Amino acid sequence: MTGYQEIFTDPSYSGQIVVLTYPQIGNYGTNDGDMESARPYIEGLVVRDFSPVVSNWRSARSAHQFLADANIPIIDSIDTRKLVRHLRTLGVMRGVLSSVSTNAPELIEKAKNLPSMKGLDLATRVSTVDSYRWTTAVDPVSLSERIGKLRPADYHVVAFDFGIKRNILRRLVSSGCHVTVVPASTSAADVLALRPDGVFLSNGPGDPEPLQAQAAEVRQLIGKTPIFGICLGHQILGLALGGKTYKLKFGHRGGNHPVLNKRTQKVEITAQNHGFAVDPESLPDSVVEVTHINLNDQTVEGLRHRSEPLFCVQYHPEAAPGPHDSLYLFDDFIALMKEAKR
């Protein structure tokens, strides 16, 4: 219903045509405050009704103009709910959007010849080239902000950028962290040279399996500093711990996925965007605890090391867009770093 700009600019959607099932998209425009990265990353957009009318006091330009400026194609007047049911029945497919008079067989052949997401290293493609410091917090006047005021910046966090969302960085700063963002290919030695109090592994697009080099570097960080991973970062941690990942039929998308926290026995409604999952059978139970489970399909949504300060979740606790049920995970990361500094 809301949050389309955050979806457009989430690097995790690199390489993907996005189908939105809410009937009308674009009616509140776009603005600089809702950017999750510097530009849109979706390959194309499919909607039922793309609103020509923009009505919101925060709007700086229409969603149509926002995507047009980035050369992102849009198709509307599509029965998007029927299309999504089709994708959920048969699985995610390669596709094309066409505005020219090309016959269907030619377009189908073009779609079939597109590369599969499987085996592609998209994370390195969207990662930052150079390290940088991030200092912006969550807007303290935002109705969604539960912290109320900034905490003192007591912890230095080095964040791997595999396609990181800005609201993750804002949450870390609001929680009391100095944040240094580093490229996806940064070595463990270079990270430790920055003397971090903790390391964060970000979300990102595509298949985690090609990221074996990154998993190997993360493996060298285990036991040397607290680690928190989200989404692709969760999957990379799974690989670093000796596990395997696999492709889901149609992935988890959207802001209403129920997840059971096995430690508290509470159910969190979560925002998710991923097409791969960690295989729990591939992880040694004596070393890794499964902490969160997806209640729709029983897939792994969270892991924690039994003896080292390390945990990760498959979903997006920072929201933007989505529910705020899981913001406590940032507090858990702070607690790990606080304990490690004693």
pLDDT in tens, 37-48: 999 999 999 999
> Mean pLDDT across the stretch 15-40?
95
Catalytic residue among 209, 217, 301, 318: 318
187-246 tens-digit pLDDT: 999 999 999 999 999 999 999 999 999 999 999 999 999 999 999 999 999 999 999 999
pLDDT score of 150: 61
Report residue 143's pLDDT band, with 50, 70 and 90 as the boundaries. Answer: very low
Q: Above 50 in pLDDT, residue 141?
A: no
Q: What pLDDT does residue 176 have?
A: 93
Alpha-carbon distances, residue 120 vs 86, 160, 222, 231, 247 (angstroms): 25, 19, 26, 17, 13
Q: What is the pLDDT of residue 235?
A: 98
- The answer to whether residue 318 is catalytic is yes
Which is catalytic among the residues 64, 231, 268, 274?
231
Domains 4-112 and 122-341 share a fold: no
Out of 81-85, 94-98, 158-162, 299-303, which region has the weakest mean confidence (pLDDT)? 94-98
Superfamily of domain 122-341 in the CATH hierarchy: Class I glutamine amidotransferase (GATase) domain (3.40.50.880)
pTM listed for this prediction = 0.94
CATH code matching the domain that covers 4-112, chosen among 3.60.20.10, 3.50.30.20, 3.30.530.20, 2.60.120.260: 3.50.30.20
Classify burial at 339, counting beta carbons within 10 Å of its beta carbon; exposed 0-12, middle 13-18, buried 19 or more.
exposed
Is 301 an annotated catalytic residue?
no
pLDDT of residue 147: 47
The domain limits of the chain are 4-112, 122-341
231 as an active site residue: the answer is yes
